[in-house]
């Protein structure tokens, strides 16, 4: 996947979307300039996850924006998503790659500098630095990597890097300047009164770098 | 899958296994006469599910007993399991079949006579009648089908049928006599002091029919 655009990567969260549908949030955020979308669902039946993914795929194909599924390789296969994002507690990377094939995007979360070093042995398409700042979105998180963590990982990582966790208008420029190729955003977009406006503001910051 | 032996089908449940490993329970139950094993896990990371399935696969291959994975098609693919068991809230059957291929076993839970009728349009390898009696194993269950439900479904179903829910030594013979081709057992084996003895007693009942 050569033309991967990680710059403004939306990660969904139904619980933080204030009752608005993924389709609404995603359509608005794409108008605002989101470059990739990850569907992340927990505590949902496989059928419901499949149906959400199927529906979101229709929306994203229209805009030629890649759909990445979090964790669930079966859902990614079932809807022919563009890729899969795996964490350290998900399927091993090699298993996921073998089942998905070489053409799909696979992203891997790394939570420490050591995990980022280990990721250099894998041909993942990107790594997610998680979390870069503290956040309320995920409950099971490690110590934030901070801007210094991004800078350190940028010195040796062979992968494109997207930072996630506590991303907002105030810190986006610094994250890019520290070496990240993108920001993965949850609440700053999905919880915003206007997901369009929220995405547009971040897009403007990124485009001015 | 022509030589499917549903007769004594063990379904795992870590929470009811009194701290004993799946490998222990399954090895003992196979010595007692179990003919198939389903790995059912909820509230577990994909990595842990994968590792449990991988380990159990090694055990089962040795004994030439099929391993069926509950719900998670990705885990089934990842460990090359013999099949997948899906419920009404899991991936749609046609999606699962397309991804798994024609050679794998796919079982489908039906909770009502109407669902059993609809299953006649699908080329599933078996249907699971769930629950046949009331049970504490699953919390989200419908009204039990009872022996009369088995008998009614047996009049029209083109599929092999395994009954699940509240199976024990006292009702196993009646379940077969009502038209089922097998019993799927959870607590009567996994919670028993001797999973070997529990399986053996059920096997003896079945073999004497």
Contacts of A74 in chain B (CB under 8 A): 72-74, 77, 91, 99
Contacts of B46 in chain A (CB under 8 A): 71-73, 86, 89-91
Q: CB of B86 within 8 A of CB of B107?
A: yes
Q: Of A97, A18, A107, A32, which is closest to residue A63 (Cα–Cα)?
A: A32
CA B32/CA B16 separation, integer angstroms: 19
Residues in chain B with pLDDT < 50?
none
State residue A135's pLDDT score: 77
Predicted confidence (pLDDT) at residue A117 exceeds the cutoff of 70: yes
Considering only CB atoms, A91 lies closest to which of B46, B86, B90, namely: B46
State residue A51's pLDDT score: 97
A66 sits in which H/E element: none
B185 sits in which H/E element: strand B182-185
- The verdict on a CB contact (< 8 Å) between A78 and B90 is no
B53 CA to chain A: closest CA distance, Å?
Answer: 12
As a whole number, mean pLDDT of residues A121-147 equals: 86
Q: Of A129, A124, A109, A114, which is closest to residue A158 (Cα–Cα)?
A: A124
For residue B188, give every residue at least 6 positions away whose Cβ sits within 8 Å of its Cβ, in sequence order, or none.
B167, B168, B169, B198, B202
Q: What is the mean pLDDT of chain B?
A: 95
As a whole number, mean pLDDT of residues A81-105 equals: 98
State residue A134's pLDDT score: 87
Q: CB of B64 within 8 A of CB of B54?
A: no
Report how far apart the first and last C-alpha atoms of chain B are (Å, whole number). Answer: 24
- The verdict on a CB contact (< 8 Å) between B78 and A73 is yes
Question: What separation in angstroms does the CA of A10 have from each of A64, A140, A188, A208?
Answer: 14, 20, 10, 19
Question: Chains A and B: how many Cβ contacts under 8 Å?
Answer: 60
Considering only CB atoms, A77 lies closest to which of B86, B89, B99, namely: B99
Which two three-digit tokens encode residue A6?
Answer: 């990680």
State residue B2's pLDDT score: 55
Q: What is the residue-wise DSSP string for B68-123? A: EEES-HHHHHHTT-SEEEE-TTSS-HHHHHHHH-TTSEEEEEE-SHHHHHHHTTS-
Candidate CATH numbers 3.30.365.10, 1.20.1050.10, 3.40.109.10, 3.20.20.70; the one for domain B8-207: 3.20.20.70
Where do the domains of chain A lie? 8-207
CA A58/CA A192 separation, integer angstroms: 24
Strands (DSSP E) found in A18-165: 36-39, 67-70, 83-86, 105-110, 126-129, 160-164
- The verdict on a CB contact (< 8 Å) between B91 and A47 is yes
CA B131/CA A197 separation, integer angstroms: 50
Rg, chain A, Cα only: 16
B142 CA to chain A: closest CA distance, Å?
Answer: 17
- The verdict on a CB contact (< 8 Å) between A72 and B46 is yes
Considering only CB atoms, B77 lies closest to which of A46, A86, A99, namely: A99
CA A22/CA A7 separation, integer angstroms: 20
Contacts of A73 in chain B (CB under 8 A): 46, 74, 77-78
Considering only CB atoms, A89 lies closest to which of B46, B71, B99, namely: B46
Contacts of B74 in chain A (CB under 8 A): 72-74, 77, 91, 99
Q: Which residue of B has its CA nearest to A52?
A: B91
State residue A35's pLDDT score: 98
Predicted confidence (pLDDT) at residue A205 exceeds the cutoff of 80: yes
- The verdict on a CB contact (< 8 Å) between A46 and B72 is yes
Rounded to two decimals, the ipTM of the complex is 0.94
Interval A140-168: pLDDT, tens:
557 899 999 999 999 999 999 999 999 99
Interval A11-64: pLDDT, tens:
999 999 999 999 999 999 999 999 999 999 998 999 999 999 999 999 999 999
State residue A209's pLDDT score: 93
Predicted confidence (pLDDT) at residue A2 exceeds the cutoff of 80: no
- The verdict on a CB contact (< 8 Å) between B74 and A99 is yes
B80 CA to chain A: closest CA distance, Å?
Answer: 11
């Amino acid at each position: 996947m050569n033309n991967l655009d990680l710059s403004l990567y939306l990660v969904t969260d139904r619980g933080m979307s204030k009752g608005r549908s993924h389709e609404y949030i995603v359509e608005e955020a794409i108008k605002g300039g989101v470059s990739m979308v990850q569907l992340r669902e927990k505590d949902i039946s496989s059928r419901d996850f499949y149906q959400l993914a199927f529906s979101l795929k229709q929306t994203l194909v229209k805009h030629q924006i890649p759909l990445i599924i979090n964790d669930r390789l079966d859902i990614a296969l079932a809807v022919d998503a563009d890729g899969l994002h795996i964490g350290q507690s998900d399927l091993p990377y090699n298993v996921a790659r073998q089942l998905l094939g070489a053409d799909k995007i696979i992203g891997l979360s790394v939570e420490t500098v050591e995990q980022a070093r280990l990721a250099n042995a894998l041909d993942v398409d990107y790594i997610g630095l998680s979390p870069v700042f503290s956040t309320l979105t995920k409950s099971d998180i490690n110590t934030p990597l901070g801007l210094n963590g991004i800078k350190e990982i940028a010195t040796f990582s062979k992968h494109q890097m997207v930072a996630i966790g506590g991303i907002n208008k105030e810190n986006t420029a610094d994250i890019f300047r520290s070496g990240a190729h993108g920001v993965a955003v949850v609440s700053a977009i999905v919880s915003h009164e206007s997901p369009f406006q929220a995405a547009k503001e971040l897009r403007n910051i990124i485009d001015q770098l």
